[in-house]
Chains A and B, each alone.
Chain A
Amino acid sequence: MVDVSVESQSEGQLDTVQMLVNMGPQHPSTHGVFRMVLMVDGERIVDVEPHIGYLHRGSEKLCEGEIYAQIVTLFDRLDYISNLNNEMAFCRAVEKLMSLEVPERAEYVRVILCELNRVASHLLFFGTFGIDAGAMTPIMYAFRDREKIQSMFEAVTGARMMHNYIRIGGVKNDVPDDFRQRMTALIGELRQGIDEADRLLSFGEIFLARSKGIGVIAPERAIAYGASGPTLRASGVPMDVRKDAPYSIYDRFDFGIPIGEKGDSWDRFYVRVEEMRQSLSIIEQALRDMPEGPTITPTRLVLRPPQGEVYVRGENPRGEIGVYLVSNGADRPYRVKVRPPSFCNLMAIRELLLNTYVADAVVILGSLDIVLGEVDR
């Protein structure tokens, strides 16, 4: 019946057999089309082989055939949970290459929307992490608030997911007239909603038992793997591009970066919860200071940036995104390379999963918060 005969290891009296379990690409908790080949001894994982590439669309190659303005839409589709952060990274790369100034107001709008996108992304994580741990209610709380953010995005950008709103030189259009008061109301609701969801899940005894001390990664290992974002910060490394190399106008805001100390799944979870609160505070400060003025520096539709290469770093909800852009002076980039945060975070999965239980595998994978759209590109 079930082919379990992989390798028979008799230890004294009992003859146990290891079983190969193919987790994914179609499995409810692999967050997309990720596949892990697990070798399990009963419930214990003795070997893991991760497989990616099921969603490989050749985005980087596609970029070489599009003019710069079109590439923004391709970046939307990398990390489809945090589209605006991706758009921003690419636009900043082009602007840096061309030494293009972005109007003050556009910078504020960008930061507000990117931070809002970060909250939306972490809310999604909050819900799915609850599901991974077996709790079915947190996702409803998270989605209630995420829905409001999506509506806000729709009001500003015209789309709920693939916005194509941040353009080279600014943003597509100015925000609606009642933006400030709607955002203020939204922030209040989000604060309350996050607190509520936090009380529901974060400190439950069962949840703590399921995530505390599970999937621990030491700071040195996390750095060696190139992990970034909450995954790295949970291990106690205070590395955040917004602080280390402030881009856009992030140096004008007062905000903290939540760091964990154990580097386990719970820390990775709670770092994100705290990050949502910090993001809301950034948005509040940005709303307070937002000046009037134009929202885009007019450019030609078909841009021809100067010859050269540029690398920009940005802080995505999942970690550090990098865009390496090589231009030969033509209207299409010569080469675009994306440094996807989930890709690097996911690399540590084998080390994290060895000698854990099958149930932990789900929680640990969930705590890394991967988006396969950007892992596979």
Chain B
Amino acid sequence: MLLDVALLVALSLTLLTALSVVVLSLVWIERKFLGRIQMRMGPMHVGPFGLLQPVADAIKLMAKEDLLSSWVDRVIYWVAPLVVFVPVLMIWVTIPVARDLVIRNLDLGLFYIIAFSVLSIVGLVAAGWASSNKYAVLGGFRAAAQLVSYEIPLILAVLGVAMLAQSMNLVQVVNEQNVWVYALIQPLGLVIFFIAGLAELGRTPFDIHPAESEVVGGPFVEYSGAHWSVFFLAEYINTFAIAALTVLLYFGGWLFPGLPGDVPIISLAVFLAKTYLVILVIFWIRGTYPRLRIDQLMSLGWKVLVPLAFVNILMTGAYLFYGWPAWVLSLLSVAVLAATVWGLSKAMRTAPRPEVTVRIYNPTSEAGHAG
């Protein structure tokens, strides 16, 4: 009994340390990678290749004064970061990083993860409300609307995977992918999951609740120092979690053709490599796209992703019921995806592309040639 508790504590501490290291690495990668995208060097001066920059950032954040506006609702204000942080940490209890490297391999792992990740919304809204700042309120409600809406396509996409694997146990889900990864069988599910995941994270192009240029940081606007860094930590751990789930659910987790799936160290390396690749894609998107507007985001969620997720489930159900070969489902998925993209582009545009409404007017040369 005592040994169990001690083990659990030790494991939790290991997890926390590992995640902190992961967050530091993510911060460094993000700054370096975004820097490269933007033709900059990124951090250069703290340590070799700026490797110690995240550490310096962390020290700065911890040393910063924790400002407190006199109007805030103190209890909620102090509790909100924890409400965001704890669920984010809790889901890692059941995320396996290799076949045997998992704290508790729950049979309802997926269910558990979804149940916990929804809790963070409360923290964001509470932070927005308690900050007693109108931008924070706007940001908090944006967060509520956005996260609640995108929870649904996310869950429905995950359901498709659970149907394929006939299990909610993540280790089981990965083991089922030893022939074909689900990204190939169910590309539609992957796209839905990834988009909804980005929205859950509040990352570009869905960074609507912390939108710097609109609501100046949203729910976090009044936070500073250590409390702000708790939100920051939660955001990055969450990013890592979504990337890890993408890898586990759709890219075969720690499995790689030709490599043994039962040697922990190799498994871990494969898993991390895949996860960091997904993370790079997330950062790449961040460096490329502008931000959607809240109503566009909502209509994308409710009018496109939710119906698509149902179509995905229906197709998966039919596939399982009639026992089709796997390529039928992937073909169907790709077809639905293509049809959606085509339909969306028809719906969003009124004229054929490129819609250049600007022309060059030159009264001296012949009457205005097209630009």
Contacts and interface: CB of A to CB of B under 8 A. Distances in A.
A contacts B directly (C-beta below 8 A): yes
Interface of A: 1-2, 4, 19-22, 27-29, 40, 42-43, 130-137, 140-141, 144, 200-201, 203-210, 212, 234, 238, 243, 254-262, 266-267, 270-271, 274, 278, 357-360, 362
On chain B, which size bracket covers the interface? 35 or more
Contacts of B359: 258-259, 261
A19 B291 contact: no
Interface in B126-162: 129-130, 132-135, 137-138, 141-142
A256 B214 contact: no
Given A43-B294, A209-B348, A358 B361 contact: no
B356 A135 contact: no
Contacts, number: 152
Contact of B213 (A28, A140, A278): A28
Contact of B212 (A28, A210, A358): A28
Given A27-B216, A358-B214, A358-B215, A260 B138 contact: no
A266 B132 CA distance: 35
B354 interface: yes
B358 A274 contact: yes
Nearest to B295: A357
Given A256-B360, A261-B357, A19 B134 contact: yes
A95 to B, nearest CB: 25
Nearest to B291: A134
Interface of B: 34, 37-40, 71-73, 129-130, 132-135, 137-138, 141-142, 204-205, 207-208, 211-216, 286-296, 345, 348-349, 353-365, 368-369, 371
Nearest to B38: A140
A16 to B, nearest CB: 12
16 contacts: A1-B71, A2-B137, A28-B216, A40-B138, A43-B142, A206-B205, A206-B292, A208-B355, A209-B292, A210-B290, A212-B355, A238-B361, A254-B364, A256-B361, A258-B359, A270-B356
Contact of A267 (B130, B288, B358): B358
Given A205-B348, A270-B357, A2 B132 contact: yes
A86 B72 CA distance: 47
B290 A133 contact: yes
A134 B205 contact: yes
A359 B369 CA distance: 35
Most chain B beta-carbon contacts within 10 A, residue among A2, A132, A212, A255:
A2
7 closest A-B pairs by beta carbon, nearest first, are: A134-B291, A256-B360, A256-B362, A140-B38, A135-B290, A133-B290, A29-B213
A234 B214 CA distance: 24
A267 B289 contact: no
A247 B205 CA distance: 45
Given A131-B213, A210-B293, A258-B361, 13 more contacts: A1-B72, A1-B129, A20-B134, A134-B291, A137-B287, A204-B290, A205-B345, A209-B296, A210-B291, A259-B360, A270-B356, A358-B214, A362-B213
Contacts of A212: 355
B133 A2 contact: yes
A2 B215 contact: no
Nearest to B357: A261
Contact of B294 (A19, A20, A274, A359): A359
A362 B214 contact: yes
A258 B371 contact: yes
A29 B213 CA distance: 5
A206 B290 CA distance: 6
A360 B34 CA distance: 26
Contact of B287 (A43, A136, A144): A136
Given A134-B290, A136-B287, A21 B205 contact: no
A123 to B, nearest CB: 14
Contacts of B294: 43, 357, 359
A272 to B, nearest CB: 9
B73 A203 contact: no
A2 to B, nearest CB: 5
A262 B351 CA distance: 13
A21 B290 CA distance: 24
Contact of A257 (B130, B137, B289, B360): B360
B358 A258 contact: yes
B39 A141 contact: yes
Contact of A259 (B38, B71, B358): B358
A132 B357 contact: no
A257 B362 contact: yes
Contact of A357 (B37, B293, B355, B363): B293
B325 to A, nearest CB: 35
Contacts of B133: 2
Given A140-B40, A267-B358, A359 B348 contact: no
A175 B306 CA distance: 63
Nearest to B137: A2
A3 to B, nearest CB: 9
A256 B292 CA distance: 34
A4 B133 CA distance: 10
A206 B291 contact: yes
Contacts of A357: 293-295
Contacts of A40: 138
Contacts of A27: 216
Contacts of B142: 43
Nearest to B129: A1
A43 B295 contact: yes
A213 B40 CA distance: 34
Contacts of B134: 2, 4, 19-22
Contacts of B291: 133-135, 206, 210, 359
